[in-house]
Structure 1
Amino acid sequence: MHLISRRTFDNDQDCALYNRIAWRILPFLFVLYVVAFLDRVNVGFAKLQLATDIGLSDMAFGFGAGVFFLGYCLFEIPSNLMLKRVGARLWITRIMVVWGLISTSMMFVNSPTSFYILRFLLGVAEAGFYPGVVLYLTFWLPSYAQSQGLACLSLGVGIAGVLGGPLSGWIMQTFAGYGGMAGWQWLFLLEGLPAVLLGIVVYFYLDDRPGKVHWLTPAQNARVVADLEQQRLAHEQAGATHSVRGAFMHRGLWCLVFVNFALLCATYGVSFWMPQIIRSLGEQSLFQTGLISAIPFAVASVCMLIVGKHSDRTRERRWHASLSILAAAIGLALSAALHTSPYLCLFSLCIAMAGSLSAFNVLWAIPGTLLTGTAAAAGIALMTTVGNLGGYASPFMMGWIKQATGHLEFGLYALATLTLVAALVMSSVRPRDRDQQTQAVAVPG
């Protein structure tokens, strides 16, 4: 079974080699990302009990859920530059162990202030994880195969949504009162510890770069190193930027920064408030709420794989991303307009999630064709730094709008408008995908 489609490659030898690499690193990175996304969005389920226990208003929850991203953004670029310097194995180990310990400590929250502080520190600890993993994939996979690699990684978001809702609801409902702790305290404890354990595994499992890894033959090691170096040179000859200063001056990069910001606003806005949205459609138990919230993520998981494979096969990024973002905007608008019809609203949320997550895979395959070397590390980090401000702005805006108007659907309309603008901006980006990637493939290894 191929993780990366055979039609992506020019010959069977490359297909076998890069799928061997994919099977080595992608399933493990997928598990890490499942854990990361669970730790980010479980606060939405915790809020169903936490708010009453510590006196947390909707606006205060929105601020606390979003302040995570302020800490995350402050340390994003330094973290990615440090990963490039010391290696992914050591740095990702550091990130995961520290964030797991802080996530577990959320069980001790006893006031809005302590909620804000620990959410901020959690963001600081996790800073650099996603851009670091994206950068890590560029060390191993050619750019024309990265969309499928990112789809496998982003599938973790979908699976976390599918498993996380029912799991969070089950933990809170089942363990409430055990050991004198509330259900939300057990939620933070049981979903925080896996990050610590997996962080330790990272140190012994991941290899920093190809060249001398034991699971490839010497010839395969040499082939990968030569292929990626030839690709880097081809991208530079096609106009890719390799300096940090050049990255920050690149118009195309800033367009991608905005698009990523809008997508994260949509994704996290819906993710943090999904339990509230579903609860507003009718009374359910915590476990039922979790099961229903899994449906949009399940649909999105299938769609992102289809879009990622088609984008890699055709080597086209611009319209795959633009149309996916447009679908997300339509889904958000429909979910707001149809909020009084439970099934139609849920169907609309499926469209919104499918569009958002499908767009991410294609979007993150573009920076590696525009930037190389240190510029790629800085540019990818810049995208996540500014983009993740959406993770702060969106939950806070949704909470403020709901508290001010009493209507959560008004916040969904605002997200739909922002996402529509992002689709227009994305359609203006011209990454010259086919030209750059064909050059990278055509150079003999």
Structure 2
Amino acid sequence: KLLKKLDWRIVPWVFCLYFLSVEDRSNVGYAMTMNKDQGHTLMDTAGLTAQQNNIGLGLFYVAYIIFEVPSNLMMAHVNPALWIARIMITWSIVTGCMAAISRPWHFYLLRFLLGVFEAGFWPGKSTFYNTLWYKPQEISTRIGVTYLAGPASGAVGGLISAGIQLIDTKGGLYGWQWLFLISGIVSVLFGLATIFYLPSTPEKSTRFLNEDERARVKRRLESSTQQAKTAETVEERNMKRDLKQVLGELKDFKVWLFCVLYFTPVMAATSLGYFLPKIVQQIGTFNSIQVSLMSIPPFVFGMIMVYVVTRLSDHYSNRSWFIIGASCVSFIGFCILSFAKPIGARYFGLMVVAGGTYPTVPLSMAWTANSKEDPVSVASATGIVSSVANFGALICTFALYSGWPSDAPRYVGSNMI
């Protein structure tokens, strides 16, 4: 009963926050193809070349890599829920400002700021925050359920972009401008609501849990291998000591193995998040609305596979074999997408890629979190792993797909990498 109470309060809300995070980060992929037939895409109206587009996409990850660990470490020293709300409100404002892009340097600046303000959100809310409430063997399912928001955002984003294309030039704004404005406003509202709704730590959640429930949450954590160092210890922590702990994590060989493990899923998931509409566009001769709609099924299939695989992983208390299996499925999908000739077969390959790629991300992050016991170690290790692995996203945005013009239209080289 207590676990269900935690789940109903925390998981759906964090799901919504991550949904909006992915939407605000990746809707630029739809902005690049929206109203293409009218010449009203972001690239057309802002005068962006394919190379400039990739620079802007990559600058997000440059900032993300730089600020990931500091932001995640701050979450261990302040009210976690308020820090999550701060992250969300600031990135949402930047998203809304992207509607004003009219020059390449506007795009560069806003993408960099988006990375600065969003840094720490994914490892913070998915791993560190969960370790304050759940046992290690419960984390993968919760991360998996919230990570469903990633492919869900891609699917719903396809519907939203298809609909918004119908109001292109209304109010003097292009479709892509409406997309950024609406996304930014909705996200700001959710960020403000997070301040009041999302519980901080068990000891401080007096409006959410009674005294007995707070004690039971703490006993649950103490009975596991994880130490229940939450609310009171936040004030007792010493930043200098914790920085030494971060340096200790940098010397941990296992942390670097997790960086390698997480690197490839991040690269593959980034390719889907940003370039799936472009991949669909190259598979056949589709108009911009058809591209948006045909981008939905792969994301939906990815959602289903995330839920199934993470549940099985928690049930069998195993991460490695499920990561290996999902990675093999993803590899097979990339091969089909690259070398099959019929349009239907290539689209099927894209579905398989999504089904294999998306489960590996939450499984890898859950495994990293499970390898650590106290909150500062979790925050440090997951921040380091996420930061280093995002070099994979950086490579993807700079060098693959639209960053490799000669690789079009089949993108065989990008897919194989």
Match of 1:332 in 2: 334
Could you tell me how far 1:20 is from its partner in structure 2?
A: 1.7
Query: Is 2:156 the partner of 1:163?
Result: yes
C-alpha RMSD of matched pairs (Å): 1.9
- Following superposition, the deviation at residue 234 of structure 1 comes to 7.7
Question: Once the two structures are superposed, what CA deviation does each residue of 1:59-98 show, in whole Å capped at 9, x if it has no partner?
Answer: 2212211211111111111101111101212111111111
Q: Distance in 2 between matches of 1:59 and 1:21?
A: 46
Q: Kindly indicate whether residue 30 of structure 2 is the aligned counterpart of residue 45 of structure 1.
A: yes
Q: CA deviation at 1:400?
A: 5.8
- Provide Cα deviations, 1:127-155, integer angstroms capped at 9, x if missing partner: 11111102101111111011110111011
Residue of structure 1 in register with 2:85 after alignment: 93
> Matches of 1:122 and 1:411 in 2, distance apart?
29
1:254 alignment counterpart: 256
What TM-score, normalized by structure 2, do the two folds share?
0.90
In structure 1, list runs of 5 or more residues that go unmatched.
1-15, 236-241, 416-445
- Cα displacement (A) at 1:108: 1.0
Q: Is the 8 A contact 2:283 2:347 kept in 1?
A: no
Distance 1:45 1:233 in 2: 42
The reply to whether residue 389 of structure 1 matches residue 373 of structure 2 is no
Name stretches of at least 5 consecutive residues in structure 2 with no aligned partner.
34-40, 229-243
- SS for the counterpart of 2:138 is helix
Matches within 5 A, 1:168-187: 168-171=161-164, 173-187=165-179
Q: Distance in 2 between matches of 1:305 and 1:319?
A: 16
Provide the C-alpha distance between the structure 2 equivalents of 1:31 and 1:321, rounded to a whole number of angstroms. 25
Q: Is the 8 A contact 2:137 2:314 kept in 1?
A: yes
Identify the residue that residue 441 of structure 1 maps to in structure 2: none
2:115 corresponds to 1:123: yes
d(CA) in 2 for partners of 1:408 and 1:186? 31
Letter of the 1:72 counterpart: Y
- Shift of residue 212, structure 1, vs aligned partner: 4.6
1:349 corresponds to which residue?
350
Match of 1:421 in 2: none
Distance 1:205 1:83 in 2: 17
Query: Is the contact between residue 73 and residue 385 of structure 1 (CA under 8 Å) also seen in structure 2?
Result: yes
Q: Which residue is equivalent to 1:359?
A: 360
Give 1:105 deviation, angstroms.
0.6
> What is the CA–CA distance in structure 2 between the aligned matches of 1:352 and 1:412, rounded to whole Å?
13
SS for the counterpart of 2:48 is: coil
Separation in 2, partners of 1:133, 1:363: 15
Q: Partners of 1:139 and 1:58 in 2: how far apart?
A: 43
Q: Give the partner amino acid of 1:178.
A: K
Q: The residue matched to 2:133 in structure 1 has which SS?
A: coil
Q: Distance in 1 between matches of 2:150 and 2:411?
A: 24
Residues in 1 aligned to 2:190 and 2:334: alpha-carbon distance in whole angstroms: 35
2:136 maps to amino acid? S
Q: Which residue of 2 aligns with 1:142?
A: 135
One-letter amino acid matched to 1:351:
V
Q: Counterpart of 2:202 in 1: which secondary structure?
A: coil
Residue number in structure 2 paired with 1:31: 16
* 1:252, distance to aligned residue in structure 2 (A): 2.1
Instruction: Give the equivalent residue in structure 1 for 2:102.
Output: 110
Structure 2 contact 221–227 (Cα < 8 Å) conserved: no
Matched, 1:227 2:220: yes
Tell me, yes or no, if structure 1 residue 17 matches structure 2 residue 2.
yes
**2:216 corresponds to which letter in structure 1?**
R
**1:329–1:32 distance in 2 versus 1, CA, 3 Å:** same
* 1:74 counterpart residue number: 66
Aligned length: 393
AA at the equivalent of 2:9: R
Matches of 2:172 and 2:77, distance apart in 1: 46
1:277: Cα distance to partner? 1.3
CA distance in 2, matches of 1:252, 1:334: 34
The secondary structure found in structure 2 opposite 1:86 is: coil
CA 1:114–1:399: 2 relative to 1, 3 Å: farther
Question: Contact (CA 8 Å) 1:59, 1:399: kept in 2 or not?
Answer: no
Which one-letter code corresponds to 1:161 in the other structure? G
Aligned residue identity for 2:22: F
C-alpha distance in 2 between matches for 1:372 and 1:61: 41
Q: What corresponds to 2:211 in structure 1? A: 218
CA distance 1:233–1:56, shift in 2 (3 Å): closer
- What amino acid sits opposite 1:67 in the alignment? L
**Alignment of structure 1 residues 256-271 onto 2, 5 Å:** 256-271=258-273
Tell me: CA distance 1:69–1:408, structure 2 relative to 1, closer, same or farther (3 Å): farther
